[in-house]
Amino acid sequence: MPQDVIAFANKNPACFMATMDNDQPRVRGMLLFSCDEKGFIFSTGKPKNMYKQLEANPKIELCFYAPS
């Protein structure tokens, strides 16, 4: 992952994560825990729908927000 992407994500941790629930997209606001060369780290609980969606299909899309 490019260093400018890592720096931007770590500086602006507010983002939206899109997952799939069967045939429907699901988007929710998230706060990034950290980002490095290996990828993005988020936290959620096993009982949550997001966890189940990620287990079924680990492909996601992220949209980060920078206030400026």
pLDDT, one tens digit per residue, over 35-52 is 999 999 999 999 999 999
β partners of residue 4: none
16 C-beta neighbours (distance < 10 Å), count: 13
Q: Domains along the chain?
A: 3-64 (2.30.110.10)
**Alpha-carbon separation of residue 52 from 10, 24, 34, 46, 65 (angstroms):** 26, 14, 22, 7, 25
Q: In the structure, what pLDDT confidence band is assigned to residue 8 with cuts at 50, 70 and 90?
A: very high
Q: What is the largest CA-CA distance in the chain?
A: 36
Q: In the structure, what pLDDT confidence band is assigned to residue 68 with cuts at 50, 70 and 90?
A: confident
pLDDT, one tens digit per residue, over 9-25 is 999 999 999 999 999 99
